[in-house]
Amino acid sequence: MTDTVSTPARDALDEKVTGVFAGKVVRKDLVRKVKVGANVPVFVLEFLLGKYCASKDPVAIEMGLKVVNETLAENYIRPDESMKAQNKVIDQGRHSFIDKVKVRVADSERWAEAVNFGDRYIHIPSQYARDYERLLTGGVWAQVEIKHEYDDESKGKRSFWITKLEPIQIATFGLDEYRADRRSFTTDEWLDFMMRSLGYEPTEMDRRLKFLFLTRLIPLAERNYNLVELGPRGTGKSYAIQELSPYASLLTGPTTQANMFGHMSGRYKGMVQIWDVVGFDEVADLQKMPKEVVTTMKTYCESGTYQRGTEAASGDASIAMFGNTNQPVEVMVQTGHLFEPMPDIIRDDMAFIDRLHFYLPGWEVPKMQTAMFTDHYGFVVDYLAEALRELRKHNFTEVIDRHFSLGSHLNARDRKAVRRTVSGLVKIIHPHGEPTEAELAEILEFAIEGRRRVKEQLKKMGSFEYYETSFSYLMNSSGEEKFVGVPEQGGRDLIALDPLAPGSAYTAGLNTEGTVGLFRIEVSVSGGTGKLKAAGGVSGAVKESLQRAFAYMQSNKGEFGIGRDLDVSDLHVEVIDLLANRVETEIGIGFFAAAMSALRSHPLAPALLVLGDMSVQGNIKPLRSLVEVLQVAMDNGAKRALIPIENKRNFLDVDADIMEHVDPVFYGDPKTAAMKGLGVV
């Protein structure tokens, strides 16, 4: 801490916010100056700074900062100074502290624990536990007065008593005034002001990054909102939940059924009933929790209700899950899916994942650096926390319908997720509920993207029911439909736009469970006696389809003009599983086209996907369905697809978005397929 405070240059936004929100803003550089010497949440520091330093006058700020520092020095207890604090109470009879206070019931008595004070058996009036239920689940930061008084029953062992407890939060908040004051700002100004309120300097940020940061606030503004963010370490994923609001609780380890959802008797409420947000700082810890906790949480994430004993219970806490990724997103996209960092107990439960409203791409958020923090004015965060809490009572989910409707691929759960994300962002950016049509479209596209990211991973996990992911929205005024993708798009570069080497082909197939496999076939030619040699790993239905196609090629080599070449050559084939999902399917036509390409030393057309299989006599076997296969083709970069003519009638089932991106090329026999693929026909 320092005795002198340099005054950063004020800009136009500073002048505006200090005028409109006088007494409700604070210079964020002051927070960092005090934070260095005090390990307390930001909302605690800003409560004090807002109380003593909410001024434009540098002299007043200087004096206020001294008061804050003195208050922290005199009243904040360092964790290693608990004995010193207890001794001060004994010497003086009573003293006031800033500490986190928890209450528990033991031996039919309510006992308070002042965490840094270091005593778990402090007498507390029962009224406080009734007035502030969060004391019973996680605890509350408060200004607390503790006195020392000899207790006959405990023979002096439990001699501390709480005589006064005031949770650290603002006394009053007027939503109408907050909404009216918002109208004084343009949307760009408000976005920058909100970023500064979070402690970040928005000058060098693009608009998308601001949206990503503000999305972390949605659980605080929207009831029963389920958010997941996975990304690299050090990007501040859990900061908003841990530091900005006294109404949120961040779990840093496993929890119990009773703690999360309440006691069976119903006597004590669970965290989801008391807190506005329950966050999991490291989602991997969910693996260590009892399975019934995760099972109940899955039910809760769907409807906000759950069963405890014979009674139904409900809560409106949002769930926020944060986790770390250990690989670049490009690797995760190409080798698996974006939920790989999740624990098995969730990753393998597609129904749980389907309940997540938004997947925030944490890999797009830069690691926290000093240059990212602001020296300008922002809201005192407990004022912002009160604003978000008050907005939880309001519902903006129908605001979409003013200008837009959602596309056909969004099912009921998708629509619910998108509407809640839109509602949350409108509350944060447009608390008056009046975004323009263009501003609402921007929010809607962002919300659709976050939900589609969830569905894309479910699709990659292999379930047929999740294959409709061509998410879109329609403009009510014109009927125009706009499709919304995701930037990483499930690995668009798996099917290259550049021509492959001769002997290579992309192919795909569908297994009996509706799971799509995507493959690259590589055929090479060497001197030999006309044999097929498959690399290790080629087995099952894939290998059988290759053998049938090769047998047909051998039987008709003269007709295809490859008799001499095939007689003195061996074909070596390798099949690369691009999605790594080990789908058992048949890819005979893909191999046939690749083999013809190798023998003719001519590449197939670029970005071409070859579909279909054949019998040993060359009869074409159509695909069971085109929808899922062409969806995967589009998502991974295919521009055209060779399709059996028998599947032409199925093309009517294909979504318009896919038709727009993937051109169909139909064929009726293996030779025609190969010639069209080579560009000969």
The 3 state secondary structure assigned to 594-658 is: HHHHHHHCCCCCCCEEEECEECCCCCEECCCCCHHHHHHHHHCCCCEEEEEHHHHHHHHHCCHHH
Domain boundaries, the chain: 79-167, 181-372, 388-483, 492-678
Q: How far apart are CA 226 and CA 417, in angstroms?
A: 9
Note the Cα 631 to chain centre separation in Å.
Answer: 23
Dihedral sign for Cα atoms in the order 21, 27, 28, 34: negative
CA-CA distance, 541 to 547, in Å (whole number)?
A: 10
The position carrying tokens 């100004």 is: 189
Rounded Cα distance between 23 and 43, Å, is 15
Among residues 91, 181, 139, the alpha carbon closest in space to that of 379 is found at 181
For residue 649, how many other CB atoms are within 10 A of its CB? 10
Q: With the CA atoms of 341, 342, 348 and 354 taken in that order, what torsion angle do they form, in degrees rounded to the nearest 10?
A: -110
- Separation of alpha carbons 53 and 636, rounded Å: 55
Cα 190 from Cα 514, distance rounded (Å): 47
Q: Which of 677, 463, 666 is nearest to 590 (CA)?
A: 677
Structure tokens at 18: 């200090």
> Could you tell me which CATH number the domain at 492-678 has?
3.30.230.10
d(CA 405, CA 94): 62
Residue 76 DSSP label: B
474: exposed, middle or buried (Cβ count in 10 Å: 0-12, 13-18, 19+): middle
| Helix residue spans in 173-224 (DSSP H) | 175-182, 187-197, 207-215, 218-221
| Kind and range of the H or E run holding 413 | helix 412-429
The predicted structure's pLDDT at residue 308:
85
Tokens matching residue 341: 């960092």
Same fold: 181-372 with 492-678: no
Residue 533 tokens read as 């040699």
Show the CA angle centred on residue 677, arms to residues 672 and 681, nearest 5°: 55
Return averaged pLDDT per consecutive 10 residues of the chain, 681 residues in all.
61 94 88 72 81 78 87 85 92 93 87 93 91 82 91 72 87 88 98 97 95 98 97 92 89 88 83 95 83 91 90 93 89 80 89 96 93 92 92 96 94 97 98 97 97 90 74 92 79 73 94 88 94 87 95 94 92 90 91 96 94 96 91 88 94 84 95 94 73
CB 135 within 8 A of CB 103: yes
The two beta strands, 663-667 and 311-314, are: unpaired
Q: What is the DSSP letter of 170?
A: -
Among 358, 355, 356, 339, CA closest to 347: 339
- In 3D space, the residue among 275, 292, 294 whose CA is nearest the CA of residue 283 turns out to be 294
Residue 456: helix, strand or coil by DSSP?
A: helix
DSSP string across 289-334? S-HHHHHHHHHHHHHSEEEETTEEEE---EEEEEEE-SS-HHHHHH
| Contact between 95 and 88 (Cβ < 8 Å) | yes
Q: Which amino acid is at 546?
A: L
Say how many C-beta atoms besides its own lie within 10 A of residue 216's C-beta.
23
Give Cα 30 distance to the centre of its chain. 31
In angstroms, the CA 548 to CA 157 distance is: 85
What residue type is assigned to position 260 of the chain?
A: M
Closest by CA to 241, choosing from 291, 292, 282, is 282
Q: Are strands 119-123 and 109-114 parallel, antiparallel or unpaired?
A: antiparallel
β-pairing verdict for 377-379 and 140-148: unpaired
Q: How far is CA 469 from CA 411, 418, 657, in A?
A: 10, 13, 10
Classify residue 232 by burial, with Cβ atoms within 10 Å: 0-12, 13-18, 19+: middle
How many other CB atoms sit within 10 Å of the CB of residue 91?
A: 9
Residue with tokens 């409807």: 303
- CATH code for 181-372? 3.40.50
Comparing CA positions, the residue from 531, 472, 494, 469 lying closest to residue 638 is 494
Contact predicate 609/673, CB 8 Å:
no
Kind plus residue range of the DSSP H or E element containing 73: helix 58-75
Question: What SS3 class is residue 240?
Answer: helix
CA–CA separation, 92 and 158 (whole Å): 17
What's the chain's length in residues? 681
- Looking only at the bridges linking them, the beta strands covering 226-231 and 318-324 are parallel
Phi, psi (degrees; rounded to nearest 5) at 22: -55, 130
Residue 528: CB partners within 8 Å, gap ≥ 6?
Answer: 568, 569, 570
